[in-house]
A and B are shown apart, each in its own frame.
Chain A
Amino acid sequence: MNVRAPDTPGARRPSVSRAPRRPWSGLAGAPAAVVLMVLAGVVAEVGAAAAWWAPDVLPAPSDLLPAAARIAGSPRFWQDALRTGAELLLSCVFGVVAGLGLGVAFWKAPGAGRVFEPYLVSFYAVPLVLFYPIAIVLIGINQWSVVVLASIMTAIPMTLNTWTGLRAIPPVYLRLAASIGCSRSQTLFRVALPAAAPYVVAGLRLGVAYALIGTVAMEFTTAQAGLGYQVRYLYESFDAVGMYAYILVIVAVSVLLTAVLEIAERLLPRGRDT
Chain B
Amino acid sequence: MSSPGTGVVLDDVRVEFRSSGRDGPVVAVDGITQEIPAGGFVSVVGPSGCGKSTLLSVIAGLRAATSGSVRINGRTVTGPDRDVGVMFQEDSVLPWKNVTDNVRFPLQIARVPRAGRPRLGPGHRPGRAAARRRIAQRAQEAIDLVGLGGFERRYPAELSGGMRQRVALARTLAMRPSVLLMDEPFAALDQQTRLLLGAEVRRIWGETHQTVLFVTHDISEAILLSQQVWVMSYRPGTILDVVDVDLPADRDASVVSTPRFNALHNRIWERLRTEAMRGFAQENRFPA
* A-to-B contact residues, CB < 8 Å: 1, 3-4, 6-10, 13, 15, 18, 170-173, 175-176, 178-183, 186, 190-191, 194-195, 197, 268-274
Contact = CB atoms under 8 A, between A and B. Distances in A.
Given A7-B163, A183-B114, 19 more contacts: A9-B148, A9-B151, A9-B166, A15-B158, A18-B157, A170-B90, A172-B88, A179-B85, A180-B80, A180-B110, A181-B81, A181-B109, A181-B110, A183-B116, A186-B109, A197-B96, A271-B95, A271-B158, A273-B157
Given A179-B86, A180-B109, A191-B94, A7 B160 contact: yes
Contact of A194 (B62, B80, B94, B158): B94
A181 B96 contact: no
B90 A274 contact: no
B92 A182 contact: no
Secondary structure at the B interface, as helix, strand, loop or mixed, is loop
Interface string B86-106: 101011101111100000011
A269 to B, nearest CB: 4
Contacts of B97: 269
B192 A6 contact: yes
- Of all A-B residue pairs in the complex, the 10 with the closest CB atoms, nearest first, are A271-B155, A7-B162, A180-B106, A172-B90, A7-B193, A13-B160, A269-B96, A179-B86, A271-B157, A9-B147
Interface bracket on B: 35 or more
Interface in B164-214: 166, 175, 189-190, 192-193, 196-197
Nearest to B108: A190
A6 B91 CA distance: 19
A4 B94 contact: no
A274 B95 contact: yes
A172 to B, nearest CB: 4
Contact of B159 (A4, A13, A172, A179): A13
